Structure 1
Amino acid sequence: MTRLIAVCGATGNQGGSVAKLLLEHSDQYRVRALTRDPQSAPARNLAVLGAEVVKADLTIPSELHDALRECWGVFGVTNFYDSKIKDDPGSEERQGKNLVDAAIANGVKCFVWSTLPSSHKISGGRLVSRIYEGKYHVDDYIREKNVPAVFLYTGNFYENMVLRSHMKYNHVLDRVEFHQPIIKEDTKLAMLYVQKDLSAVTKAVLDNWDARKDELNYRYLYVANARLTPRDILASVKKLAGKDGVYICLPNTGVPDRDIMFQLYNEVGMYGTKELPDENILKLGVQMHNIDDFVREVLAPHLGLPLL
């Protein structure tokens, strides 16, 4: 019997990756794609692929309750680029808790939650970003309510070089230009190829839940392949596409909580000394992808650069 999985943010980067992978395994899973706009082009594309597309706003508990009806599992994520959170960062925590409440009401058996640690704890209280704290507080709420769950600590997304236009090819100067706010060129970031690896880890959790629930319940999985600096990323572009690059550090993001988050990366790093890739992910049979994979498959084509 196939299992119904509700996927939050199904038209976005994280949720979209999960929805598309699960849709490739229709013998195991049915996908209920949650989105605020079922008529958007990405939502219609998911419907064509076989998803049940449902309108659900994380700020409206009644919509979430209906959206999770009969679901065996949930992939949960909140988006701090969302205008409702950008204008009110405290909304992220409320949205996450609304989702947890809906999961409880519907008896969800496996809740996969995309999260972050406490910025207050890892910085000793010096750098507190509500982007981090909102997700972290939902972790506590999940445990408090005894919701069966796995926590995914996500890395910094390779995809942001494309989606946030961080990297461009300057035709006049024949060079790649990497623009990124606040992050220093020698800061090491835990990096994640969302479309390949976040989706694979989520499916592996769902696949293994029945057999390994005791091991997986409330476990934190570090979903990142390696720690890389901006210089390391430009070196991959040079190796694979033959183009020199320059890194340009921008002064701010325009959003104070995101500025704090990036400064946290500079001063504290991401996930301490945790060895990457996470051995617990490898035990699930997931082989993580690296920067060269992303450059070959996504970044070089996006920049219009042929591979050597």
Structure 2
Amino acid sequence: MSTAIKPTIAVVTGTGAQGRSISRAFNNSGEWHVRVLTRNPSSEIAQTFAKEGMEIVQADFEDKESLGKAFEGAWAVFSVTIPPWHQKYTNKLGEYEQGVLQADVAKEANVQLFLFSTLPYVGPDYMGLGGVELYDGKARTNDYITSIGLPAVYLGTPAFIDNVHSWPLVKEIEGGSKLEFWDYVVDKDKPVVFLWVERDLGTSALALAESFRLSGKPLSEHPLNHTIQPLGSWRGTWGQVSKEIERQTGIETIHTVIADADQRWHYELTKAFIYQNNHGLYPTVEFPTKTFTDLGVEFGNLEDFVKMKVAPMFIKKSSE
């Protein structure tokens, strides 16, 4: 039995949607020690992770001192930034400032690989929107990380299909005889890149990290260093999602496109959806990408997602 010390990955917001996927994938590999950063170590998911052998560390992604302690001795960091208007957070720093802080602390802690969850750059001139800070703050962070020479890969995330059941985007109407499914701003038939975060984000990040760790070369010389890697499970439409829910549940599903996300979320999110609807995310890229398939990552699909995560919400009720 090997007694080699496992490399550590520190996962920022390790109990959040992206962090959970990262934490589970790296822990399940058996090759990594997972350090979960969370504001609330007593939460149910944090306690579950602790029982599974992960290290739980209380840390604030806006606080340099707590980040420094959490990153100490880590070989890799998974970094994510959160918009200040997000409903579940009370952070004060913008996303660019959060990303710069995390990158600087990682550099000081001698972290070898920085995996950063990012989005495309839109810029102030697109459609008179004045920029889309939800995207642009992350994209500017890519450039900063590169400028300080910290080995990194920028994981370009698209629409999260998980939101269908986590927000949720589907509910019973008319006494359960029908379902209403909705999305924000994006037309039903507009091509969209979807990522099944729970299933595919963690395994993709793990494959990247292992490629760097086992390359036998300086990380700065790895061909994927400082590259943007668009990450998606499949390309489809919100209309296809609605139809698949109807097919699997056998319940008529009404699809509504809500004009904006302002009331529930924030105008910055609405602008992001406007960009998606008019430009698309990574419109010329085929998903899953060759980078990840060459690394051996196997991705989920719409049929399996609905079967596992959405249909049981309604099929059980209808049979009671």
The normalised TM-score by structure 1 is: 0.92
> Quick check: 275-284 or 212-221, which moved more?
212-221
Deviation at 1:87, TM superposition (A): 7.8
Percent identity (aligned):
28
Structure 1 residues 1-308: aligned runs within 5 Å: 1=4, 2-26=6-30, 28-80=31-83, 82-83=86-87, 91-120=94-123, 123=126, 126=129, 128-170=131-173, 172=175, 174-212=177-215, 213=219, 214-254=222-262, 255-304=266-315
* 2:274 match: secondary structure: helix
Distance 2:130 2:292 in 1: 29
Structure 1 gap segments, 5+ residues each: none
Q: Deviations over 1:86-118 (max 9, x none)?
A: 886x61111111110111011111111110011
Q: Deviations over 1:35-74 (max 9, x none)?
A: 1111222111111111111111111111111110000011
> Quick check: 120-129 or 295-304, which moved more?
120-129
Distance 1:48 1:187 in 2: 43
* 1:63 match: secondary structure: helix
Deviation at 1:122, TM superposition (A): 9.3
Distance 1:5 1:23, change over 3 A: same
One-letter amino acid of the counterpart of residue 236, structure 1 = E
Structure 2 gap segments, 5+ residues each: none
> Quick check: 203-212 or 171-180, which moved more?
171-180
One-letter amino acid of the counterpart of residue 70, structure 1 = G
* 1:57 match: secondary structure: coil
Alpha carbons 2:74, 2:111 under 8 Å: kept? yes
Aligned residues: 305
Deviation at 1:126, TM superposition (A): 4.5
Distance 1:77 1:142 in 2: 13
Alpha carbons 1:114, 1:151 under 8 Å: kept? yes
> Quick check: 129-138 or 240-249, which moved more?
240-249
Q: Deviations over 1:243-302 (max 9, x none)?
A: 321111223212111110011111111112111111111111001111111111111123
Distance 1:67 1:265 in 2: 35
Distance 2:316 2:255 in 1: 18
> Quick check: 119-128 or 278-287, which moved more?
119-128
Distance 1:38 1:208, change over 3 A: same
One-letter amino acid of the counterpart of residue 134, structure 1 = G
Alpha carbons 2:67, 2:105 under 8 Å: kept? yes
One-letter amino acid of the counterpart of residue 76, structure 1 = S
> Quick check: 167-176 or 196-205, which moved more?
167-176
Distance 2:14 2:213 in 1: 25
Distance 1:294 1:102 in 2: 37
Alpha carbons 2:96, 2:137 under 8 Å: kept? yes
* 2:145 match: secondary structure: helix
Distance 2:316 2:245 in 1: 9
Alpha carbons 1:47, 1:53 under 8 Å: kept? yes
The normalised TM-score by structure 2 is: 0.89
* 1:141 match: secondary structure: helix
For the aligned residue pairs, the C-alpha RMSD in angstroms reads: 2.2
